[in-house]
Amino acid sequence: MPLFVAAKCDKLNHIDQINGVRGLSSQILLFPAVKRVGIIRRWARNIATYRKIKARENTIRIRLETFATGLRRVGIEEGVITRETASMETALRVEISRLMQYARHRSV
């Protein structure tokens, strides 16, 4: 039985605005997803420093494959792994995009 946590923070509000959702200040997240926020931020900071897009894409692919392999070792169902990997990829790409936009804004 999964544990759920209602997460309320400015980061979620920012993501809601990107996705076009208005007035939603919290989301229900699976408990492990809340723990992954730090990992996503660290990965995104690292990947955003790469100059070549191909290197970024390869790193994202390798990290997501490693993440999926870890879930398989624990015995998670394949459907859940697919969903969690897709959600992790989306969160990672949003964070990389945010960092890149911030860097461009700061350099102007």
Tell me, what's the pLDDT at 107?
64
Sign of CA dihedral 60, 28, 38, 21: positive
CA distances in angstroms from 35 to 7, 40, 108, listed in the order given: 11, 10, 34
Would you say 3 and 31 are in contact if contact means Cβ atoms under 8 Å apart? yes
Q: What is the pLDDT of residues 64-73, one digit of tens each?
A: 999 999 989 9
Residue ranges per structural domain of the chain: 1-34, 36-108
Torsional class of 32: left (φ above 0), alpha (ψ -120 to 50), beta (otherwise): alpha
pTM of the model: 0.64
Average of per-residue pLDDT across 71-97:
90
Spatial contact of 48 and 96, defined as CB atoms under 8 Å apart: yes
